[in-house]
């Protein structure tokens, strides 16, 4: 099969997924599966290898990348696109999927596109997952990864952070944690369909969430496994309640069919209201997770984010 034929088949398959995602039964099936997992938490450990295999095999990667696993003292993997240069900076990538599944491996494609479009290598981290490791385990691991980058000689003005879904939540949580501990901030944050409020209150009330497969009520029950015994309104968890001043420049991407669109909009407004920078990019027709299987405007979204990260790092170094 030639490359053009394979690309055509991929486009046809993704178009079919788009159509199916508007069918009510797809929402019902997804929510039934998610509710079973929440009620039978031991299934997560059994599901993760299969999810890692499927996502890593289907998510497209930039050709010619180099990958270097890291096992200690933090776990993850470096991804270099062909033209990436760590002299320009690095991008720390905390992966998404509700703090419950996925890994650096599943997000290798996502990381490769960020490396390609930013011109910097990415370091995608593996952090401990819920329900075995509830809050603040993932945040502690992200902080350890950031400290490790500093210990490797990386200038914080040349570190950017980019995360999707729960990884977007973790990117902001890391910046808040660094500020509270008096540690230097990264140069910028790029967020894709980020988790903002684990209770999903605004998202549940948002009528725009009805024509996509993920039910925010089911998502809230799943994320509650990470929240654990903590108050979901805690500012470390509900970012709408956090003090959002003095954060690095932020760029936020989401589709018009994003389940957490209402929270993304509210978060951006709060950051700007606190005197910060938060540029919003809404991509028509796209739903949660488009960045893992990007095409057309999804690729443009990643290009815009890569340019933002590269420019923010360059500006941070000019100012320092």
Residue 241 DSSP symbol: G
pLDDT value of position 36: 76
CB 93 within 8 A of CB 162: yes
CA atoms within a 13 Å half-sphere pointing along the CA-CB vector of 208: 17
Residue 165 among the catalytic residues: yes
The span from the CA of 163 to the CA of 171, in Å, is 6
- In 152-296, which residue ranges form alpha helices assigned H by DSSP? 166-180, 201-205, 216-227, 261-273
181 is catalytic: no
**Taking a C-beta distance cutoff of 8 angstroms, is the pair 125, 94 a contact?**
yes
Whole-number pLDDT of residue 28:
60
From the candidates 95, 107, 253, 288, give the one annotated as an active-site residue.
288
**Token pair of 221 as six digits:** 């029950």
Token pair of 245 as six digits = 């001043």
Q: Please state, in angstroms and rounded to a whole number, the distance separating the CA atoms of residues 226 and 95.
A: 15
149, 161, 176 from 320: Cα distances, Å: 19, 19, 21
Q: What pLDDT shows up at residue 44?
A: 84
pLDDT in tens, 2-44: 445 444 444 444 444 444 444 455 566 667 777 777 778 888 8
Question: Looking at 97, 165, 199, 301, which residue is catalytic?
Answer: 165
- Specify the pLDDT at position 76: 98
Q: Is the pTM of this model over 0.85?
A: yes
154 noted as active-site residue: no
So what's the pLDDT on residue 320? 65
Provide the token pair at 41: 């938490």
Residue 79, φ and ψ in degrees, nearest 5: -130, 125
The answer to whether residues 120 and 88 touch, using CB atoms and an 8 Å cutoff, is yes
Residue with token string 């003005």: 157
Is the Cβ–Cβ distance between 146 and 174 less than 8 Å? yes
- Average pLDDT, whole number, for the chain? 91
- What is the spatial distance between Cα 122 and Cα 106, in angstroms, rounded to a whole number? 14
List the alpha helices (DSSP H) in 188-296: 201-205, 216-227, 261-273
Catalytic option among 77, 258, 265, 301: 258
Residues of the chain with pLDDT under 70: 1-30, 320
């Amino acid at each position: 099969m030639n490359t053009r034929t394979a690309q055509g088949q991929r486009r046809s398959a993704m178009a079919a997924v788009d159509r199916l995602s508007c069918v009510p039964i797809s929402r019902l099936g997804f929510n039934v599966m998610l509710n079973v997992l929440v009620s039978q938490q031991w299934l997560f450990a059994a599901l993760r290898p299969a999810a890692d295999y499927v996502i890593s095999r289907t998510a497209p990667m930039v050709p010619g990348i180099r990958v270097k696993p890291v096992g200690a003292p933090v776990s993850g993997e470096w991804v270099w696109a062909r033209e990436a240069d760590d002299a320009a900076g690095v991008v720390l990538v905390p992966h998404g999927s509700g703090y419950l599944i996925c890994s650096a491996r599943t997000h290798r494609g996502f990381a490769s596109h960020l490396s390609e479009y930013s011109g910097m290598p990415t370091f995608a981290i593996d952090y401990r997952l819920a329900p075995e490791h509830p809050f603040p385990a993932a945040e502690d691991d992200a902080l350890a990864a950031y400290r490790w980058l500093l210990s490797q000689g990386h200038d914080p003005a040349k570190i950017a952070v980019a995360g999707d879904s729960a990884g977007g939540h973790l990117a902001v949580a890391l910046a808040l944690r660094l500020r509270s501990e008096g540690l230097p901030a990264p140069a910028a944050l790029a967020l894709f369909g980020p988790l903002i409020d684990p209770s999903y209150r605004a998202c549940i009330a948002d009528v725009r969430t009805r024509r996509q497969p993920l039910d925010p009520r089911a998502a809230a029950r799943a994320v509650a496994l990470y929240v654990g015994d903590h108050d979901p309104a805690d500012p470390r968890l509900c970012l709408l309640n956090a003090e959002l001043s003095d954060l690095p420049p932020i760029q936020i991407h989401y589709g018009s069919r994003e389940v957490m669109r209402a929270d993304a909009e509210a978060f951006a407004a709060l950051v700007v209201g606190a005197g910060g920078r938060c540029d919003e990019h809404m991509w028509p027709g796209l739903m949660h997770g488009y960045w893992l299987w990007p095409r057309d405007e999804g690729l443009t979204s990643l290009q815009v984010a890569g340019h933002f990260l590269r420019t923010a790092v360059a500006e941070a170094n000019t100012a320092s």
